[in-house]
Each structure stands twice: as C-alpha cells, then as structure tokens.
Amino acid sequence: MRLPGLRVGESLPGGRIVMIKFGSLLLLLITLSGVGGELPPADGERVMRGQSPENGELRPDVDRSAGEVIRGTFRSPHGDRAWRLYLPPPEAVTAPPPTGRAGMTVLSDPGEEPGEPRAPLLVLLHGCTQDADDMARGTRMDQLARERGVAVLYPEQPTAANATRCWNWFEPGHQRRGAGEPALIAGMIEETVRERGLDPERVFVAGISAGGALAATLAATYPERISGVAVHSGVPFGAARGLPEAREVMGGEAETPTRDLADAMIDAMGDRARPVPLLVMHGERDEVVSARNADWFALQWSRLLAELTGMPTVEELNPAREGAGPGVRVRVLKGIAGEIHFEMWRLAELGHAWSGGSEEGTYTDPAGPEASRIMMEFFLDRSAR
C-alpha cells in the first residue's frame, strides 16, 4: 500500500509512515504527533452545525418517503469531524420492545404527540482509507435502517487526524473518557440525539477494523450511553497501547492475559461499569487483523460478565441463526435469564472485509452472511438495556 508521491519511511507533516508486513500483505500505519481537528473551510464557505455547505437548510418540498441524508460538521475541544446522517421516514419508526430499559415508554420533544416513538441511532465507524459515503455504500446500512426505522450516523476521520483516515485506537490519548476520539464521538452522539429528537436509550455503535476498535473503546469509556456494540474485524479495548503493541495484536502475536483485558475495560468504565451487549464478526482469512482477536474478545467479555454481574453465564455453540451456514461458527454467552451479552461469528472464507457487503464500497465481500442485517437484528431484536 502506498500514498501517491510518498516513499516508505518518509516523514509527513506531524507524523511518520510505518510499514508492517503480515505474510504477503503490507499494512500502512500512520502515527501523528497532533491528533484531532481538520482542514478549515475554504474562504467564504460557512459550515453550520447540522448542515453541509452543499445542502444548507433542508427544503420543506423534498420528498422524504425514503428517508433523508444530512451532512454537517461537529466541532468540539477534542477536534472537528464531518458527519453524514441518514434519517428514516417518520412512518418507519416504531416503539421499542416492552423489555428492559429499551422498552421504556419514551415521549417525544414537547409539543409533539405524546408517546410518539423516537428513532434509535446506529453510529457506524469506517475503517482505514474509507470515508462516510464509502461506508454507507459498502454496508447498505441506509436501506436496512429505512426498513427498521433507525437513524445512522457516519462520523468521518479526516486526513488531518490520520493520513490514511484510520481512527487512532492504539494511542493512549484516545483510550480514555473525556479525551481524544472517544470524547469527540460521544459528543457527536449527544448532539445528534438532542438535535434530531432520537432515542437516547437506544444508541448503538458498530465499526470495521480501526472503526471496530474505536467502537469497542466507546463501550469501555462511555458504557452508560451505549446500548450495544458490534465489531467487525477489530481489536479488543486494552489490547494495545502504542504502535508496537498494535502491530503485535493485529498480527495475532500478542499474549495479553485475559484478566488484563477485562481489567482494562472495568478500569475505563469506572463507576459506570455495566455489561454492554457485544457482537463480534471476523474472517478466518483476515491477513490484516488476525482472527485471534475474536477469541480475545470472547475471553474478555466472559471474564467481564463474571466480574460485573457475579452470576454464571451460559455458553451456546452454533445456535440457529439465519445466514449461519457451512463455514460459519457462532458462539453466544447468555445470562441466566436468557439475555444475550455476547455473540461471535467466525467466518471461514472471509478476509479483511465486510461480510455480505456491496461491491460499491471498499473492503467488502458480497459472499457470506449479511453483516449489516445481523448487526441490526442483534441491536433491535435481542439486545436490551
């Protein structure tokens, strides 16, 4: 992998290029001394919160029967990030199931019809070299969100924060509450929920690769705000602090004790600690992020559940799941009441790609189970706060 006009090892403004070899595959990691922020708007360009320079205010005559896409920029002390937001048509939004905190009756903003349901929010984090539109095309999540009445927020990492648009999940400055990218995304979520009238009790986060690692980080640093997490081809929180450890864990070479991974989660959660439901999907042929990371997630969550609940968990192997055919192994950890805390899909024929995705996006594989639908069902049908 190569950046146009740059040589391996050449310095970038504020950073350096590091090439890591896994078998026949070269992985490019960019580390930056200054993280956060993005290029300022061009002269005369005005970026308003909740809007884009191209779209401005939404026109009342626009047909929104298929939902609508809004673009804007979130600004915070932790940096600025562009975002893309899909909003489903109002008639597609349904009330949550009558179980757990997700089943609480939620009233809309004052002045609206009492009891009108609010749409849940799914935050979808792209991987390296991708952007918000690429992620939307490749996952086809907007189409599923329209079916299920879900809003989808796509934060976008600028090259000013990482030259290959990777989220900086492995840097200590981005692994704690109130700092770096976790604080930035949490603030973006809070603003989106408030300004768009979404359901704060049904906020889900998913991502692939570096985006998956950041999703796991959000579960650790802001567990009280997240109702469920899905990690596709990602890395557990606490598995790496700095570039050398990131290289080891991505290559499947790390020997991090299970207790250390669970303790890292508990320490980051603090007095907000709770078992956030987690779905993990990983390809056995992944040469960028080793599938051993899926096993580390399982070990981490097993011990985390024991520490936080003090109750035994029930393990179920290969339960009936739509799309779980030959070459697919599913593992589930349930509480004694049958609630699902952890679900893992190991896909024998998948590389470093979004399973069942569209060829219109990058890092997708049309074959295999449809990851987007599996995630949506995990969040809405089986996962409750």
pLDDT digits (tens, 9 = 90+) for 218-232: 999 999 999 999 999
Question: What pTM value is reported for the model?
Answer: 0.81
Give me the mean pLDDT over the 306-317 stretch.
87
Q: What does residue 27 show for φ and ψ, rounded to 5 degrees?
A: -115, 130
As given in the structure block, the two tokens for residue 223 are: 């567990």
Beta bridge partners of 22: 25
As given in the structure block, the two tokens for residue 262 are: 């669970």
pLDDT for position 63: 55
Q: Do residues 68 and 51 lie in contact, with contact meaning Cβ atoms separated by under 8 Å?
A: no
The matching CATH number, chosen from 3.40.50.1820, 3.40.50.720, 3.30.1490.270, 3.90.180.10, for 48-382 is: 3.40.50.1820
Write out 83-142 in H/E/C secondary structure. EEEEECCHHHCCCCCCCCHHHCCCCCCCCCCCCCCCCCEEEEECCCCCCHHHHHHHHCHH
* pLDDT(383) > 50: no
* pLDDT(47) > 70: no
pLDDT for position 125: 99
* pLDDT(99) > 70: no
Q: pLDDT by residue (tens digit) across 134-157? A: 999 999 999 999 999 999 999 999
Confidence tier at 37 by pLDDT (50, 70, 90) = very low
pLDDT for position 55: 39
What lies within 8 Å, CB to CB, of 375 at 6+ separation is 122, 204, 206, 230, 279
Q: pLDDT by residue (tens digit) across 327-352? A: 999 999 998 888 899 999 999 999 99
Q: Tally the residues of the chain.
A: 385
pLDDT for position 20: 40
Q: pLDDT by residue (tens digit) across 50-75? A: 343 343 344 444 456 789 999 999 99
**Domain boundaries along the sequence of the chain:** 48-382
Q: Do residues 237 and 293 lie in contact, with contact meaning Cβ atoms separated by under 8 Å?
A: no
Confidence tier at 311 by pLDDT (50, 70, 90) = confident
More confident residue, 126 or 306: 126
The mean predicted confidence, pLDDT, of the chain is 82
Confidence tier at 12 by pLDDT (50, 70, 90) = very low
Other beta carbons less than 10 A from residue 154's beta carbon? 27
Could you give the percent of the chain with pLDDT greater than 90?
Answer: 65
More confident residue, 312 or 27: 312
pLDDT for position 257: 59
In angstroms, rounded to a whole number, what is the distance separating the alpha carbons of residues 295 and 284? 11
Confidence tier at 96 by pLDDT (50, 70, 90) = confident
Q: pLDDT by residue (tens digit) across 230-281? A: 999 999 999 999 989 999 999 998 876 566 899 999 999 999 999 899 999 9
Could you give the percent of the chain with pLDDT greater than 70?
Answer: 76
Q: pLDDT by residue (tens digit) across 152-204? A: 999 999 999 999 999 999 999 999 999 999 999 999 999 999 999 999 999 99
Beta bridge partners of 329: 346
